[in-house]
Structures are given as structure tokens and as C-alpha cells.
Structure 1
Amino acid sequence: MTPDAPWLAEALGQSDAFLACMEAVAQAASIDRPALIVGERGTGKELAAARLHYHSPRWDRAYVPVNLAALPRTLIESELFGHEAGAFTGASRRRVGRFEAADGGTLFLDELHAAPLAVQAKLLRAVEYGHIERIGSSQPVAVDVRIVAAVNVDPRRLVAKGRLLPDLLDRLAFCVLVMPPLRERHGDIPYLAERFAARFAAQLGRPEPPVFSRAAITALAAHPWPGNIRELKTVVERVVLACPSSRIDAIQIDPFAALSPAREVQEGVPPSWPPEASSILSSLSHHPGGSGGMIPPDGSRAAPWPPEASLSSPLPNFTEAVASLEIALLGRALARSGGNQRRAAGLLGLGYHQFRGLYRKYAGALDAASKAP
């Protein structure tokens, strides 16, 4: 690894899929031809491009990475090819583009499909003939640049949708490197998690690296990791920061877990529930005769139960009373769980789908109660 490329240290793994990919990168590095890297977001496409450069005969020359998706489409051509003074409004002097900056080395074009088709046509000529033209000039400028490009979807689909020139794809596809997603790199999740955790703990000044419990490793391995290595690294570092001890037992993958499923109560404001439901809940909590509050513990019916009631006392409508009680219980559980429906279901001893069924049944009443002054 060179001092100019510290990111190469992040290219870690021991799975068969990862090692096969690195072997393909090493083979492509020795061939001075264009290359195309294909992979999902977070799989390490830029790391692979850097390895292509630093393991090639061009290693001691410039490595110039460009994320085309991060540039305004109207400026991509100028950024890549440069411009002459007076070429357009605001061009007060000649500007050298990224091609000339990478002369003798490697130019990495990430998110290639973000470039307009007209710019892709100029890229094709640069690959074919080894020269470019600055904007505002008709004089060719010779450049010796190895082009490495990357896309995050199947490039054939991009061609079919008219977002990538087929001729350019043909030229870049001399070396095609496919980065495996983390879910296919069997065994690499705990391997990477341990190293990310150790490195971050050292940055925090902690005396020893964290150790993941079996349950924590199982939780990490069960996640599909749509964000791949980048997502794993972020999750691990967040867990290390939140865990004061050197043993990690719990993994919180979703940083927004407290906000999902969709929160129906006002943020930070405990809901006020219907008065009639609260009164029913309160009265029932004082009667020892079971959840119905109508039969004493010994089962006798010698006297009206509860004692203060009489046979002439009016009975509430059964359906309305049950609905009020259910609304009150749901509301209290949601308030106590901060709106998290899975936790609220657990507090009530219900399954999540049981809770969701009741929630949908009373969604209007719960919503109105939460907004009551």
C-alpha cells in the first residue's frame, strides 16, 4: 500500500468470492487496457479501481478518481476535457481537465452512466485514439490515460434504456470486474465486523477491541446488507460507540427503529385518550374479579359485584365498552413504547400482527385522541 492510497487498507476479506474478485483485479492490473467495474453501492468499486492502478505499471503516476454523479451534468464535459479561455461565459482562462491531470496514470470514472451521451461520445474517442479536445478548441491534445469506469447496475440494461453508448461499453468491456455483494461473501461479515470494531475502538482510545457475542454475530449475518460494506462499517461503528463495555451483545441495525413502523402519535407528546375509555380502565383496575371485573374471585354470586353495583344499575353497551377499553390499552402501550408498535404489542402480550389488526381497526380513534388538546 502506498502512502497516497490509505483506502486500500479497507479492501479486506477471506471468503472465496472476495478472494476470486481480488485475483481478477490483480490479473487485470497487469494489462494496460480499459476496465469496467460492476457492483452494487458499497461493494468497494473505488477500492478495486485503486488496486487496479497501484498494482499496475502506472502505480507511480497520477490516479484521478471522478464521481460523475456528483458533478452538474452541464459541467461534466469541462471537468473531464478542460476548456480554453473564452469558450463560454465565465471561462476567463484555460483550464486543464481531469484527462490531462491523469496523463500517464489512471482516470477512474465512477457512475459512468451519469455522463450525458455527448460526453460519452467524446470518451469513446479518447479511448479509441488517445487524444481529447478542450472545449473551445479544435486542436487535439494527446493523453496517455488508462480509463477505469464503474456502474452500479447491469450495463446492458443501461444500454437498453439509452443511458450508455453501446460502442463505449464494447471498448470498456475488455476487462469486466464484478464486485460480489456482501450477502454472497460467506464468512466475511464477522471478519469485517471485528476489524471495523477494533479500528474504531482504537480511534476512541479504548484499551481493548470489542468482542461480539454469538447472538450479535447471528444478527449481523442475518441482515441482507443492501448497503454492503459501507453499511456494515457504519452499523458496527455506531454499535461500538453506543456500547461502553468491550462485549457487544445487541446489534441495532436500523438507526430509525424508534420511528418505525410509521408513528401515529405527535412527536414528543403523550397522547390523550378518550375519557370514557380511561374511566373504564381505571374502574377495572380496582376490581379483583378478573379482567371483566364482574365476578368475585371465589365465584360466588350472593351479592352484586362489584359491591356498590346493584341489579338496577344500567349496563354499558358491551361493544362500545370493549372498544373503549381496547383503544385505551392500545393508546397506553403506544405512549409507553414511544410509538414503536412491536414494543407496544409486547407490552400487551400480543403478537405483532394481532396488534396491527387492532391498530388498523381503531386507527381513526387513536389518531383523533393523539391530536386532542
Structure 2
Amino acid sequence: MKTTNDQMLGASAAFFELTDQISRAAPLDRPMLVIGERGTGKELIAARLHYLSNRWDRNFQKMNCAALPDTLLESELFGYEPGAFTGANKKRKGRFEVAHKGSLFLDEIGTMSMTAQEKLLRVIEYGEFERVGGNETINVNVRIIGATNIDLPAAADAGEFRHDLLDRLAFDVITVPPLRERQDDILLLAENFGRQMALEQEWLQFPGYTDEAIEAMLEYQWPGNVRELKNVVERAVYRAWDGEEPIGDIVFDPFESPYRPKAVKISQRNGQAVNHVVPDRSDTNNDYGVDVDAPFDFKEVICGQEKAIITKVLEKFRYNQRQAAKHLTLSYDQFRHLMKKHELLS
């Protein structure tokens, strides 16, 4: 959904519904939540909410809550007084003070500690807080825009997020559709990103894509959404060298290689990182978890293993169905039939 000049781009019905909701919500001086998968452009939506509001000429502050430990999160949000902690030599304003009369975008808001959530709730309710290490009450007027890719109501039910804070934040919720639900936007975005990368490569023109490349992009499920699409397109353009022929080599997984190291699981032992090689499940002598000494439903076991294999191969090829079918030496129609049989078609 994001281009290099920070413009939202799309032509699908889902995209127009999204932009319409943003336009209607932007002028309202209320907290907002933006929910969506990784790579869907939540920060861009937050910026649009700010710049289409009456606060457009004021500060738009952004902070990733997951990027800071709890000890630094509060001082970053609320600022601190001299001597509040080691290294605090002078007073520092927090994001709330800097964003006064503007907007504050809190990305990954679901990762905030309960203590920070409590202080955030107070700011939303009363518009006041104290700097870390201080006792002076500071009043601010800030619009909060939160974003996350987790289910906040479920997190609240599990005791990991405050219900009262969720109530204050969720005046309205903008749920961003994933790219797989915006089929009409895939080629539009791919063309846009391709032209931008061709310009960066100083090509005289952008030659477009082959039919096979277009088909592959339309069939792919895009788990990384628009951010992943941008990476895939830019990688394809730079690998094409001169741009004289339509681009046909679309690589979804840049890690795919016959020389790729075996997967390892990292664990801690006596404070030291230890690598464990993940067993090769292709070994036909492995244990399939079936006790052959006791009666069991053969068809059910085979059906379960079949579904597990299809799911694993789909993940391996980043949900590219044609590559997955080829890997299993099946025709595309056969593979689609198996996906339908096991209810794997979205």
C-alpha cells in the first residue's frame, strides 16, 4: 500500500472502503486503532489520519513500542528530569510533550507493559502526566493513534492488555485488509514499484512483466503484504540487469538455495547459546507417531499426514501454489484439488 513517495495506491473495492473509513475518521479528535498484518502500511494510515485532520500543521510523532525496553519506554513517552536515572544529566521532553496539539502514533502498542499502559490511560483520560523522576503535572492535548498486528480484545481477556485502555483507544478501529484480499491492487502496485526501481537503476524504460511472472504474483498469498511485494519486485528488477526484456524471474524467497544451511534451533544452556540441528523430516525411517500395535483409523492418519505435507510445502514456497505443486510432482489442478479437499483454500 506504500510507495516511495508515501502515497497510498490501490483500485480494489477493499482499498476504497479503507480510504473512505480513513477520510471519515481523520477529522474526529478521538483516539484510533489501526489493526493489520505486518507490511500492510499501518504507519502510512496513521500519517493519513493526522494529515487529513485539523492537526495537520502540528507535530506528528511516531514511536515503536516494541523497539524499547520497559525501562526506556516510559522516559521516551513522558520525558525525564535531571537525576531521574544514571545518565539523566538534563531535563528531556518526551513524545507527548513534543506532540502537544498534534498526534502521537504508537506502533506495536500491544507490547506495552501494564505499568506503561496505566500511565497512557491517565494521559488519554485526563491529558496529564509527570516526567520520570519529577512531580510536576504536565498537561497536553495529543491525539493517540495506536497500531498492532495482534488481537487486542483477546490479549485483554488473557490479562495482557488493560480492558479500560482498550475501551479508550477503540473509539473506532481501522482494520487493514491484507494484500491477498486486494487482488486488483497487486499488479497496480507491482507496476508502480517496478517503475520506481527501474528509474533508480537508470533504465531508459520499464519493460513490464512476462505472463508467467504476472500469474505467479497473482497466485502468491503475500504473507508479508505490500512490504514483501515491494521487496520482491525490486529484487526482480535489479536482477534483470538491463531491462530490455519483460521481467520473468520472480524470486519470492531470497533464502532459497541448495547451499542453504540446515535449520537450527537456538536455546540457552548455562547462559550460552547452543545450536541444535533440526531433524530432517524427509527421512522415511522417522516415527510418524502411530502405534501400530493398537487399532487405528488408517484413512484418518493418511489424511492428516497428507494435509501436513501440503501445508509444509506451501510454507516452504511462500504459498506459491504452482511451485508447491511442481515440488510434489503434481499438476496444478491436482494440487488445487488436494487443497480444496483439506480446506486450505482461502
Task: Give TM-score, length-normalised by structure 1.
Answer: 0.68
The 1:7–1:110 alpha-carbon spacing in structure 2 relative to 1, beyond 3 Å, is: farther
The 1:23–1:259 alpha-carbon spacing in structure 2 relative to 1, beyond 3 Å, is: farther
Letter in 2 for 1:226: P
Letter in 1 for 2:257: A
- Preserved contact between residue 82 and residue 95 of structure 1 (Cα < 8 Å): yes
- Preserved contact between residue 197 and residue 236 of structure 1 (Cα < 8 Å): yes
- Preserved contact between residue 6 and residue 44 of structure 2 (Cα < 8 Å): no
Aligned counterpart for 2:40 among listed residues 43, 51, 58? 43
Deviation at 1:8, TM superposition (A): 6.0
The 1:178–1:212 alpha-carbon spacing in structure 2 relative to 1, beyond 3 Å, is: same
Q: What is the rounded CA distance, in whole Å, between the counterparts of 2:31 and 2:150 in structure 1?
A: 19
Partner of 1:65: 62
Partner of 1:188: 185
Q: How does 1:1-373 map to 2 (within 5 A)?
A: 9-244=6-241, 245-246=243-244, 247-259=246-258, 352-353=327-328
Q: Unaligned stretches of 5+ in structure 2?
A: 264-316, 318-325, 330-346
- Preserved contact between residue 106 and residue 144 of structure 2 (Cα < 8 Å): yes
The 1:144–1:8 alpha-carbon spacing in structure 2 relative to 1, beyond 3 Å, is: farther
Q: What is the rounded CA distance, in whole Å, between the counterparts of 2:4 and 2:91 in structure 1?
A: 33
Deviation at 1:72, TM superposition (A): 2.1
Q: What is the rounded CA distance, in whole Å, between the counterparts of 2:70 and 2:11 in structure 1?
A: 39
Deviates more, 1:81-90 or 1:114-123: 81-90
Secondary structure, counterpart of 1:187 in structure 2:
helix
Letter in 2 for 1:90: G
Deviation at 1:159, TM superposition (A): 1.1
Q: What is the rounded CA distance, in whole Å, between the counterparts of 1:254 and 1:17 in structure 2?
A: 27
The 1:210–1:140 alpha-carbon spacing in structure 2 relative to 1, beyond 3 Å, is: farther
Deviation at 1:7, TM superposition (A): 6.0
Secondary structure, counterpart of 1:64 in structure 2:
strand
Higher radius of gyration, 1 or 2: 1
Deviations 1:281-338 (CA, angstroms, capped at 9, x unpaired):
xxxxxxxxxxxxxxxxxxxxxxxxxxxxxxxxxxxxxxxxxxxxxxxxxxxxxxxxxx
The 1:352–1:79 alpha-carbon spacing in structure 2 relative to 1, beyond 3 Å, is: closer
Secondary structure, counterpart of 2:183 in structure 1:
coil
Deviations 1:204-239 (CA, angstroms, capped at 9, x unpaired):
111112311221111011111111000000000000
The 1:179–1:86 alpha-carbon spacing in structure 2 relative to 1, beyond 3 Å, is: same
The 1:260–1:217 alpha-carbon spacing in structure 2 relative to 1, beyond 3 Å, is: farther
- Preserved contact between residue 55 and residue 102 of structure 2 (Cα < 8 Å): yes
Q: What is the rounded CA distance, in whole Å, between the counterparts of 2:127 and 2:327 in structure 1?
A: 62
Letter in 2 for 1:175: D
Percent of residue pairs identical: 48
The 1:162–1:144 alpha-carbon spacing in structure 2 relative to 1, beyond 3 Å, is: same
* Alignment size in residue pairs: 265
- Preserved contact between residue 59 and residue 103 of structure 2 (Cα < 8 Å): yes
Q: Unaligned stretches of 5+ in structure 1?
A: 265-341, 343-350, 355-373
Q: What is the rounded CA distance, in whole Å, between the counterparts of 1:109 and 1:218 in structure 2?
A: 37
The 1:24–1:260 alpha-carbon spacing in structure 2 relative to 1, beyond 3 Å, is: farther
Instruction: Please provide the CA RMSD for this pair.
Output: 2.1
Task: Give TM-score, length-normalised by structure 2.
Answer: 0.73
Q: What is the rounded CA distance, in whole Å, between the counterparts of 2:169 and 2:4 in structure 1?
A: 24
